[in-house]
Structure 1
Amino acid sequence: MPAPLVIVFDVNETLSDMAPLGEAFAQVGARRELAKLWFATLLRDGFALTASGDNTAFAAIGADALRTLLAAEGVSGNLDTAVERVMAAMQNLSLHPDVPDGIRALAAAGHRLVTLTNGAAANTNKLLIAGGVRDKFELLLSVEDAPAWKPAKAAYEYAGTSAGADPAGMLLVAVHPWDIHGAARAGLRTAWINRTGARYPSYFQAPDFVIPALTALPPALAA
């Protein structure tokens, strides 16, 4: 049997279903499609800050970027209230349907499970408790306590140090190709969850595993 791995999970979009955010945008008078633009803007600016040597909180960037986008959208009413409503929705997401069974199977196979998010560990804790799988995770890590955001190498090294594991004994699971690439460059094995049938970008290092749902990972590792 393969040796148990330290499996490191990205959280936003990988574990959490962010589709309901579109409804939160609609409720404040914005287009539902703005949710994807907002999240992409948040990541872009977080990456830019990381590249310049800063480490700014996910929520702080998110709220400011949201305010700018909603103002440009022409949202009427109190912007503070609109921002609070969307940010609250971000903090109250649910797990993707495939996640709980996949998590339980990986834990049953003896793997050590941890999370590493560019967001807040407290939100991860809330998400996993609501999904009934918090007890399967050994560590809930956030880059707020690391030298840099993912995909900087230092973020994955922080996860390895925290778990007491070498990169070769770790596997990152994510839906984001940029996260897969960053982890691979840091020496971790990788598994890309491709729930949408998307094409993987050729300019990023390819994942070791490509799976349509988390439930497909345990048999892939066992094989």
Structure 2
Amino acid sequence: MTAAPPTALLVLDVNETLTDLRPLAGRFVDVGAPAHLVPRWFATVLRDGFGLAAAGASARFADLAADALRTVLHGEDLDGDLDAAVDHVLAGLAELPLHPDVAPGLRALRDAGHRVVALTNGAAAQAEQLLARGGVVDDLEAVLSVEDAGVWKPARAAYEHAARTCGVPLAGATLVACHPWDVDGAARSGLGTVWVDRTGSPYPRSLTAPDLRVTGLDDLARRLGRRAAGAGRP
């Protein structure tokens, strides 16, 4: 079988798309907070980041993450000081593992000749550290951050930053993300889109549907190997 030609550029989201947030639950338990607060905390971080983006402003992921922790931990019977609890939980971000499909998927995409970069709403240095710990940073052409765009995804300027940095038009880039809001934002900005759905969950009907739905990066590599990537998209 002839392999499909490479897409112009695959742009990978980082938080939850590549990294697994579930181990943070242990950090919450360590400080005396319930494990189920992890999704609420992360949703609060995203809410505030999106709110700032909608207002034309921005803030560092680390700052919003700390503020959101103080919010969700307020009123909990913590084992110690609130600031110490916040520091302990945030320290776990640097130790998050990658999903099992990420390393083999990235390696297969690289070997097939695809250009692949990461684009995070967090800091590039922290994302690079995580990806290096997972043994995949060398499989990426670059690790980019919205901090250099001045606005969070899903604002158009964030995707424009990635495309411009890599020297491709928006139409030549394809976002790969597990978040429907990211898929929708990229689609509205003119990118191709791939939704990474590891749980079989329904996609929101009110958001722009993805061009391709996969169960992981390994599945994406297989799918790109079986079909033509017409117009630079999967």
After superposition, what is the alpha-carbon deviation per residue over 1:130-187, rounded to whole angstroms, capped at 9, x for unaligned? 1111111111111111131000011000111011111222111100000000011111
Q: Cα distance, 1:76 vs. partner?
A: 4.2
SS of aligned partner of 1:94? coil
- Pairs within 5 Å for 1:1-223: 1-222=4-225, 223=227
SS of aligned partner of 1:95? coil
Q: CA contact under 8 A between 1:10 and 1:115: conserved in structure 2?
A: yes
After superposing on structure 2, the runs of 4+ consecutive aligned residues of structure 1 that deviate more than 4 Å are none
Q: Cα distance, 1:87 vs. partner?
A: 0.3
CA distance in 2, matches of 1:220, 1:199: 20
List gaps (5 residues or longer) in structure 2. 228-234
CA distance in 2, matches of 1:109, 1:170: 17
Aligned letter for 2:7? P
Q: CA contact under 8 A between 1:174 and 1:193: conserved in structure 2?
A: yes
Identity, in percent, stands at 53
Q: TM-score, normalised by structure 2?
A: 0.93
Match of 2:231 in 1: none
CA distance in 2, matches of 1:5, 1:97: 25
Q: CA contact under 8 A between 1:16 and 1:93: conserved in structure 2?
A: yes
Q: Indicate the RMSD between aligned Cα atoms, in angstroms.
A: 1.0
The number of residues matched between the two structures is 223
CA distance in 2, matches of 1:72, 1:197: 35
